[in-house]
Amino acid sequence: MVYLDHAATTPVRAAVADVVSAEMGRIGNPSSLHNAGRRARRVVEEARETIAGALGATPHEVVFTGGGTEANNLAVKGLYWARTRADPRRRRILVSSVEHHAVLDAAHWLAEAQGAECVQLPVDEYGMVQPEAFHEELRRDPDGTALASVMWANNEVGTIQPVAELARIARDYDVPLHTDAVQAPAQLPVDFAGSGVSALTVSGHKLGGPMGVGALLLERGVEPTPVLHGGGQERDLRSGTVMTPLVAGMAAAVELVHRERDEHVATLTALRGSLLDEVRRVVPDVVLNGHPSQRLPGNVHLTFPGCAADALLLLLDAAGIACSTGSACTTGVAQPSHVLLAMGADRDSALGALRFTLGPGSSPADITELGHALGPAVQRARRAEAVRGDR
């Protein structure tokens, strides 16, 4: 299989699997006071130090979660509840219109069930939030805004947001800015303190680590209301037994990507250029989505005119090429990507997009295989779409 879907999940690195496997062979709850518990606690705290050091945070700012979705929910819901409790006027939540559903749906739920006002920030044709628009929306009602959330880099089209500039603006209005940085650390330098954001989400399986573990970085003094209650683990912000083997594996993965990033990014950038050239050679009218330069090095998001992306994806899958559709399938009905619609694409264009994402193990041979398979697949997909249009 040619795997071109690293934005969905990246294979666990061998060294990481060894760490997880070794830790699973040991016993001990990190909350226990006996020797086995203290040993597990040491593993957890060393992992916390490793992740903090690689991401420009202090260990106290790292709160472990069960993944990126949980971290996003803790940030959005928890900060909203904490802020509205302190000042009931703060009911507004500002989110970019291209956020992952883990942020968008959390904000929409707060609007439907808790009386929040969810304001979706517009983006330009590249999927980028313009600082001027963000500033204008904050200025509209600064005392009524509870929090803002703008992702570091978009999971679909790869556009990198001006997070540091947005954070500076948010601080001028005393509004905490959360950023979903799940797609970022494997390909971009992430400096939590330097960015100025108040909260930041990361996930293990996007970094060559295990699924089922993530972290929310919280600036000192930023205390969201917990979503989970129980034993009071993780500073009483995320109750539940800390998953020692997964935390250790995530730390090992973060350390690897931090050490190898420069070389990895250079490789991805070259491969991305080759992939785009090859696709354009085979399908000259293909359209690149997202920012042409301010984008993740491993992301190539393309619209294939005259194609239904779900059909094209299945044709490529049958040829041994794994990629991702730009539309989500709900109850068997293709839905256009909310990201592409927010960028100004029409419905047909949004339904004709595929995402190819590169990562560790990607090679020139993968691009050659894609080139062989893509031309015939596009021709078949276009014929099928033309037949359907004639009905």
**pLDDT recorded at residue 388:** 78
The pLDDT confidence band at residue 334, using thresholds 50, 70 and 90, is confident
**CA pair distance 129, 89, nearest whole angstrom:** 25
Q: How high is the mean pLDDT of the chain? A: 96
Domain residue spans of the chain: 2-6+261-390, 14-256
The pLDDT confidence band at residue 330, using thresholds 50, 70 and 90, is very low
Q: Which helix (H) or strand (E) holds 110?
A: helix 101-114
Res 40 pLDDT > 90: yes
Say whether 389 sits in a helix, a strand or coil: helix
Say whether 379 sits in a helix, a strand or coil: helix
Q: Tell me the CA distances in angstroms from 222 to 166, 179, 245, one per residue in order.
A: 18, 14, 28
Order of strands, sheet of 287-289, starting from the edge strand that comes earlier in the sequence: 287-289, 299-303, 353-357, 324-325
Of the residues 118, 307, 323, 329, only one is catalytic, namely 329
**CA pair distance 254, 82, nearest whole angstrom:** 30
**CA pair distance 277, 358, nearest whole angstrom:** 15
The DSSP secondary structure of 11-48, one letter per residue, reads PPPHHHHHHHHHHHTS---TT--SHHHHHHHHHHHHHH
- Two domains, one topology: 2-6+261-390 and 14-256: no
**pLDDT recorded at residue 312:** 96
Task: Say if pTM beats, i.e. exceeds, 0.75.
Answer: yes
- pLDDT (tens digit per residue) in 94-148: 999 999 999 999 999 999 999 999 999 999 999 999 999 999 999 999 999 999 9
**pLDDT recorded at residue 182:** 98
Give, in words, the CATH class of 14-256. Answer: alpha beta
Res 329 pLDDT > 60: no
* Active site (annotated) includes residue 118: no
**pLDDT recorded at residue 390:** 65
The pLDDT confidence band at residue 335, using thresholds 50, 70 and 90, is confident
Find tokens 């999927």 and name the residue. Answer: 127
261 residue type, one letter: R
Which tokens belong to 159? 């556009």
Average pLDDT over residues 267-287: 98
- Note the CATH number of domain 2-6+261-390: 3.90.1150.10
